[in-house]
A and B are shown apart, each in its own frame.
Chain A
Amino acid sequence: MIPAGFDYVVPTSVAETVRLLQEYGDEAKIIAGGHSLLPTMKLRLAAPGVLIDIGTIADLRGITVTDRISIGALTTHHMIATSEALHTACPILPECAAVIGDIQVRNRGTLGGSLAHADPAADWPPVMLVLDAQISLIGPNGTRTLNAEDFFVDLLMTALEPEEVLTCVDLPTLGAGEGAAYVKLRHPASRYAVVGVAAYVRFAGGKVTVARIGITGAGVKAERQPTAEALLVGSDGGAEAIAATAAQSGSTMEVLGDIHAGEEYRRALINVYTRRALVQAVARAGG
């Protein structure tokens, strides 16, 4: 399979990328690792007239850990999966990266590319939601930063404007009393999540003070579960509280069925995987 023809430009800076986006408008599409975009182009589901390859802009690649975490858009899943600094500062990030695709996909695929593509079964979006990630976009009017929750809009649709480029993701480091985990049922061939659940909890004085649950693979986009989360807050984070929370997970969400899993099965998976994610997150938080 060969993509439809396109013009190919390789900017050397973010500023030049924005200029090219302004010049070519809707015709243009940014390519990073290409592991979401090229398959859709080969199937002719996408046929951009111009590809803007940002893959050589070194400023966009890398992981910085201080009191916060900054990950450049071009950082590959493999770099995140093998980052010692992230294993200490925020272990859910390498844990999620390590279960994306296979090693060849992780060697090429990028965090920014995955987020900008916003596949409904991608692994990163629920993790970004529960960590309350701040996503930076640069366009003709400068930089703006969005919460992950405001970034994902609909099926394959984000708040990214046509003349903007996603440049970096800012995340918290996890401290004492905090824990997070990501678990999924992976499709055996594509390795996308049939259902994936990310969970984050924070404890103070033996009680859960913050709980966040994010689900991928089940609806048109990754979604938080405020109704279920509220059940865990104020509890001791024990087995009973987790079971009650997991039972409500997905209840307010529109869940889709497809050839891999019907709606009823997906709802059952959401409950089971929410429980597993919460058990791990609570254990890591020392709860």
Chain B
Amino acid sequence: MTKIAVTVNNRQYQDDVEPRTLLVNYLRDHLNLTGTHIGCDTSQCGACVVLFNGMSVKSCTILAGQANGADITTIEGLAQGGQLHPLQEGFWEQHGLQCGFCTPGMILSACNLLQQNPNPTDAEVRHGLEGNLCRCTGYENIVRAVQYAAAKLRGAEPEPVEPADV
């Protein structure tokens, strides 16, 4: 067994884990934080993205042991005081999801993107989310959701919701 001490969503945990435990399984099975999803399990789809010391990573390709001492944020840690994070609000307002399976990973990747580039172009949003796959939305509303959050985080008024042409 390996001893780990990690901070997840501002709570500290100390655990003994089997060395082969993947971070995503530690989060889901040991801490019951099942908002982090397992999709492809081969570091391609991005459903398992979490923030690791503030940077987006694919938690299916990290050992829990490698997270010893790290500060992890999962989707459960974004809302503060019952208030949705601007990205969560954006995905809600702009219909950035259908089935929702990719959404936690999308939001955490977008978090990392907006920290590095608070005022991205649509193309930069798409490029920043290239490590996340969505099989429902065609990405249009995901880009709108991220731009909504970007505007809100910059203190600007988000674009009003316009129904997409059908």
Number of A-B contacts (CB under 8 A): 79
Q: Which of A2, A35, A39, A190 contacts B25 (CB 8 A)?
A: A2
Contacts of B20 in A (CB 8 A): 2-6
A3-B20, A107-B55, A107-B57 as given contacts; A53 in contact with B65, CB under 8 Å: yes
Inter-subunit contact B61/A35 (CB<8 Å): yes
Q: Which of B72-111 contact A (CB under 8 A)?
A: 109
Contact with B along A1-15 (1 / 0, CB 8 A): 111111110100000
A31 to B131, CA, bound (A): 23
Contacts of A190 in B (CB 8 A): 44
Inter-subunit contact A189/B128 (CB<8 Å): no
Identity of the chain A residue whose Cβ is nearest the Cβ of B42 in the assembled complex: A39
A7 to B58, CA, bound (A): 23
A101 to B52, CA, bound (A): 18
Inter-subunit contact B18/A5 (CB<8 Å): yes
Contacts of A51 in B (CB 8 A): 19, 63
Identity of the chain B residue whose Cβ is nearest the Cβ of A189 in the assembled complex: B44
A7 to B18, CA, bound (A): 9
Q: How many residues of A contact B (CB 8 A)?
A: 29
A58 near B: Cβ within 8 Å?
Answer: no
Contacts of A189 in B (CB 8 A): 44
Inter-subunit contact B19/A104 (CB<8 Å): no
The SS class assigned to the B binding surface is mixed
Inter-subunit contact B61/A39 (CB<8 Å): yes
A42 near B: Cβ within 8 Å?
Answer: yes
Q: Which of B42, B62, B112, B130 contacts A108 (CB 8 A)?
A: B62
B5 near A: Cβ within 8 Å?
Answer: no
A246 to B113, CA, bound (A): 38
B18 shortest CB reach to chain A, Å: 7
A103 near B: Cβ within 8 Å?
Answer: yes
A6 to B130, CA, bound (A): 33
A4 to B21, CA, bound (A): 10
Inter-subunit contact A1/B56 (CB<8 Å): no
Identity of the chain B residue whose Cβ is nearest the Cβ of A3 in the assembled complex: B20
Contacts of A31 in B (CB 8 A): 63, 66
Q: Which of B19, B61, B128 contacts A34 (CB 8 A)?
A: B61
Inter-subunit contact A103/B65 (CB<8 Å): no
Q: Which of A33-47 contact B (CB under 8 A)?
A: 34-35, 38-39, 42
User: Which residues in A have some Cβ–Cβ distance to B below 8 Å?
Assistant: 1-8, 10, 31, 34-35, 38-39, 42, 51, 53, 55-56, 78, 101-105, 107-108, 189-190
Contacts beyond the supplied A2-B22, A105-B131, A107-B55: 15 A-B pairs with Cβ under 8 Å = A1-B41, A1-B42, A5-B18, A5-B19, A6-B19, A7-B19, A8-B63, A10-B65, A38-B61, A39-B42, A53-B65, A103-B128, A104-B131, A107-B112, A108-B57
